[in-house]
Structure 1
Amino acid sequence: MKYTHLGRSGVQVSRLCLGTMNFGPKTPELDAHTIMDAAREAGINFFDTANVYGWENKGLTEEIVGRWFARGGGRREDTVIATKLYGSMGPGPNDTFLSALNIRQALDASLKRLQTDHIDLYQFHHVDRNTPWDEIWQAMETAVAQGKVIYNGSSNFAGWHIAEAQESARRRRFNGLISEQSIYNLLRRTVELEVIPAVQKYGLGLIPWSPLQGGLLGGILKAQNDGGRRAEERVQNLLNKHRDQIQAYEDLAVQLQIEPGILALAWLLHQPAVSAPIIGPRTSGQLDDALASLDVELDQDALAKLEEIFPGHRPAPEDYAW
């Protein structure tokens, strides 16, 4: 396993982050524990979850991870656990967003579900436009002082949100954010305009989610041609829109003798701002496929061909101005 510092922090995380969103809703608990054990055995020490995961049964995914930690054997000690807050966890007016009150309540609830005394990376799942940063950081300073949180991260922030958060933290002489979790893949490269420049300016590690764009970059055309089931409507509509690109991509994967899903992850691992893409395996076999991406070296010719198929962005404003 390869490791890297998460942004400017001293903590080292595996180059792949195990996403747990499927645990519970799609992956039964025993299978989830098997996947976590296999990931740990492979050297993945970075797990990501959120308090809302479990969907109809919000909190279930954290509980599954917590019961895995409770099995002992160094599972908790070996894991950099990241979770998130923002989404609604109840019917009350203060059960959502980033007020100091909800931060305190949500944090204590996540600690209980995860069966741990601290969160290594506590992330804001979305920007809260109605809570001032001074309030957010005051609450987080308290949580850090209490030993309940070590680092903070953001998710789904715009570049200016990151700048606003960091400048507010700087005025308070607080560490602020060390990571940003954004959608980023060969098809979705909008973050290259302003988020990635902000991440690099402020020393944040980028944690891409949906690296395969819902399976679209995982060999979907070949699977359908081989008799696989039709994708869900949202993914199928996106496939219809980008069919020529996806076909060219899968043809290139054949030329490179790399499975499409592995190629998509390998491309992300070659992007300098990226710390660790989030993989969300539903089975141990999918975990094995993701691990294979760590051994792929893409030469400049391969990277150029991918750029031709999926054109990216220059940083703003040069992308749309002189």
Structure 2
Amino acid sequence: MKYNNLGRAGVTVSRLGLGTMNFGPLTPEPEAHQIMSRALDAGVNLFDTANIYGWKPGEGITEQIIGRWLDHDPARREQIVLATKLYGPMGRKANTNRLSALHIRQACEDSLRRLRTDHVDLLQLHHVDRTTPWEEIWQALELLVAQGKVLYVGTSNHAAWHITRAQERALRRDIVGLVSEQSVYNLLERTVELEVLPACREYGIGFLPYSPLQGGLLSGVLRREAEQTGRSTEPKTRRLLDRHRDRIAAYEKWCADLGEEPARVALAWLLHQTGVTSVIVGPRTPAQFEEALRAPRLKLGDQQLAELDALFPGPGGAAPEAYAW
């Protein structure tokens, strides 16, 4: 396994990161523990979760699963870069969501308790909060850093101008600010190439793509269409499949001609993209994770990358040249 610095930060993370969104709802706890142990053995050190994963408000089921795995062998904690997120609703009462200083403090304390640790290495703001000023957000986060409960701060699902505003406010406070942004990025969804990726490169912010297989659509979905499970059965995913069926069919044939699995190619393509720090894979089963581990070994040549660009054209590069002169 190879490692990259997380943006301009000194900490290094594996080129593949372990996403845990399936742990609990789709992946039973014993299998989740098996996947985490295998990830550690394979050199994967970035473990990514969120307080809302598990999809039962206030319970943090996935964080609890990770916490019990860490508790089983305390030596594991210092071998991983543990990342979680906050923003989503964790209760029905006021101030149990978004990014107020009150919620940031409480959400962090609750995550630490569920994860059975005294600190998280990367605390990510799961979505932009248009109602809370960055001065308040940074004040709350600075306090958590000063208390040793958080080491680094990142964002997720933020537009380029949100990232810019956040980082400029951080610079005014003479603090490090953001070290990472996590957003959807894959062959089918390349919008971040317009402005998010350029903004991250400008500020030295690491980029962590999630949903690299677009809900399974890039994993050989047509070949297994009769037996689809998990996210590939969701209405949004089915609509995307109907919209892109011909393109996905051509992609699966291209991969077959190459002699490679579609999922491996999709992950490898991301690993070839400038600015990508670590690709977050979210396996549902140990077998899926084993397949993902093979991706870093697949090297795609310039001609192959060009052919994939032709199959899945992006926005045309960075803004404004992508749409103007």
> TM-score normalised to the size of structure 1?
0.97
In the TM superposition, what whole-angstrom CA distance separates every residue of 1:186-209 from its partner, at most 9, and x where no partner exists? 000001111011111111111011
SS at match of 2:23: coil
Alpha-carbon distance in structure 2 between the residues aligned to 1:253 and 1:55: 35
C-alpha RMSD of the superposition: 1.1
Alpha-carbon distance in structure 1 between the residues aligned to 2:88 and 2:227: 34
Alpha-carbon distance in structure 1 between the residues aligned to 2:156 and 2:236: 22
- Offset, 1:234: 2.5
In the TM superposition, what whole-angstrom CA distance separates every residue of 1:285-305 from its partner, at most 9, and x where no partner exists? 111100000100000010000
Alpha-carbon distance in structure 1 between the residues aligned to 2:95 and 2:74: 37
What is the match of residue 278 of structure 2? 276
What is the match of residue 104 of structure 1? 105
Runs of 4+ in 1 over 2 A off after TM superposition: 227-231
Alpha-carbon distance in structure 2 between the residues aligned to 1:163 and 1:312: 23
Alpha-carbon distance in structure 2 between the residues aligned to 1:90 and 1:223: 38
- Offset, 1:222: 1.4
In the alignment, residue 228 of structure 1 is paired with which amino acid? E
In the alignment, residue 194 of structure 1 is paired with which amino acid? E
In the alignment, residue 227 of structure 2 is paired with which amino acid? G
Checking the alignment, whether the CA contact within 8 Å between 2:221 and 2:228 is kept in structure 1 is no
Identity over aligned residues, as a percent? 58
What is the match of residue 261 of structure 2? 259
Q: Does residue 46 of structure 2 align to residue 43 of structure 1?
A: no
In the TM superposition, what whole-angstrom CA distance separates every residue of 1:20-77 from its partner, at most 9, and x where no partner exists? 1111111111111111001111110100000011102530100110011101252111
Alpha-carbon distance in structure 1 between the residues aligned to 2:91 and 2:240: 33
What is the match of residue 52 of structure 2? 52
Alpha-carbon distance in structure 2 between the residues aligned to 1:229 and 1:30: 23
Alpha-carbon distance in structure 2 between the residues aligned to 1:123 and 1:301: 37
Picking from 285, 288, 305, the partner of 1:286 is: 288
SS at match of 1:127: coil
> TM-score normalised to the size of structure 2?
0.96
Q: Does residue 322 of structure 2 align to residue 319 of structure 1?
A: yes
Picking from 231, 234, 237, the partner of 1:235 is: 237
Alpha-carbon distance in structure 1 between the residues aligned to 2:28 and 2:217: 24
SS at match of 1:55: coil
Aligned 1:130-145 pairs, distance under 5 A: 130-145=131-146
Name the count of aligned residue pairs. 320
In the alignment, residue 38 of structure 2 is paired with which amino acid? A
